[in-house]
Amino acid sequence: MRPPGRRLLSSLVTAVTALLVTGLTVAAGHPAQAEPTAADDFYTPPSPLTGEPGDVLKYEESTFYIDPLKLIKPNADVYRLMYRSSDTHGEANAVTGTLLVPNREWRGEGARPLVSYAPGTQGVGDDCAPSKKFSLGLDYEGPFVSGLLALGYAVVVTDYEGLGTPGVHTYVNRAAEAHAVLDAAKAAQRIPEAGLSADSPVVLAGYSQGGGASAAAAELVDEYAPELDVKAAYAGAPPANLAEVAPVLDGHYAAGFLGFSLLSLDAAYDEINLDEVVNDEGRRLLGEIADACTEDAILKYAFMKTSKLTKDGRALQEYLDEEPYASAVAEQRIGLRAPDVPVFVLHSRLDDIVPYGQGRQMAVDWCERGGTVQFTTSYVPSHIGGMLRAYPEAVAWLSSMLNGGQPKNNCSSLLGS
């Protein structure tokens, strides 16, 4: 397969331009057993759940628009799918997602590559699911996905646990998100019409929440998905240590994201009960946030002080150092297991939402455990700016890995400084 060259650059420019025009405006070995379905309520899982992780439960044709006016539509076949996965504790759950396959023939060597794309923060309400927003042209990462399609790659985008499907979305939950990302790739290979192969090379990618999900998945490839031929992973601005992320968000313009993560812990761990610590106002606000998407979280809950939401007047993140919260938060830590594949991590030192230091520490932790890590520091202001800065370099790196390139490993400089 030839290096993407100018075609890559052109695709990236197109994607970033479209993002600026649309996305930021909106955001101010098991064969497929399922048959295509046109069920009215696609997001209701079958009961009981059968099969193994990655098995397709149902799927149907769908649509994908880059813009809310529905004027820009990539030349690709689009499927909405539901697949079997595993939650935080390894129990069976059903997750939905979107598979996109370019219509043009793959002309590279071997089978068409598959990108398992882990989306960034969408929110926790069911209407926030990427598979729903794609069909409306409202997903801010749509241009990024379109850029990958332009290179000929198939792309599968998970909705994660609880986005669209019953239950609470387990936001920035390490295990549940890792399982969803890896099982999405398995499921994509089992859609007959997609024309993908079990031998298709796979790469993982994501930024922000998606960066954490991709990083967590990279740690579990050999254990959870050994049948996948995962070549590499990109993790941009990963929230690898929630104990360090949470204090930054309290009183921040993205304070609603802290609400997302607290609702996630409450849903995933029976021993955690937010009702025991929040007052009436806290209960009311968290009830609202449970239906919120990213834009709502920023517009409605900016600069929220959680000390006004607790019975004892302490900020909610202060509870994270105490049980039962401390143990649950510790379980979300990424970096304590060596990644099974080479990983490219890019984080801006000027990130204003996900602290740079804990992202770099994840890379250091991986290096100490023998991982192959390329860590790059950028100096682009803001979390959104860091995303735009990271995307072209990340796609170029992933393309290199798919072309058989040798990953750079700068662990020596990370550990020596």
Instruction: Label residue 123 left, alpha or beta by phi (over 0 means left) and psi (-120 to 50 means alpha).
Output: left
pLDDT tier for residue 363 given thresholds of 50, 70 and 90 = very high
Does position 36 have pLDDT exceeding 80, yes or no?
A: no
Does position 201 have pLDDT exceeding 90, yes or no?
A: yes
| pLDDT per residue as tens digits for the range 151-168 | 999 999 999 999 999 999
| pLDDT per residue as tens digits for the range 48-99 | 998 999 999 999 999 999 999 999 999 999 999 999 999 999 999 999 999 9
Please give the mean pLDDT across all residues of the chain. Answer: 90
Does position 14 have pLDDT exceeding 90, yes or no?
A: no
CA distance linking residue 398 with residue 303, whole number of Å: 37
223 near 368, Cβ under 8 Å?
Answer: no
Does position 21 have pLDDT exceeding 60, yes or no?
A: no
Is the link from the previous residue into 48 a cis peptide, with omega within 30 of 0?
yes
CA distance linking residue 314 with residue 276, whole number of Å: 13
Does position 258 have pLDDT exceeding 90, yes or no?
A: yes
CA distance linking residue 327 with residue 298, whole number of Å: 29
pLDDT tier for residue 191 given thresholds of 50, 70 and 90 = very high
Structure tokens at 120: 């960034």
- Domains belonging to the chain, first-starting first, are 5-241+335-416 (3.40.50.1820), 248-330 (1.10.260.130)
CA distance linking residue 389 with residue 82, whole number of Å: 33
Does position 35 have pLDDT exceeding 90, yes or no?
A: no
pLDDT at 40: 52
Buried residues in 205-237 as b, exposed as e (16+ CB within 10 A): bbbbbbbbbbbbbbbbbeebbeebbbbbbbbbb
CA distance linking residue 210 with residue 337, whole number of Å: 18
pLDDT at 417: 60
pLDDT at 317: 87
pLDDT at 12: 43
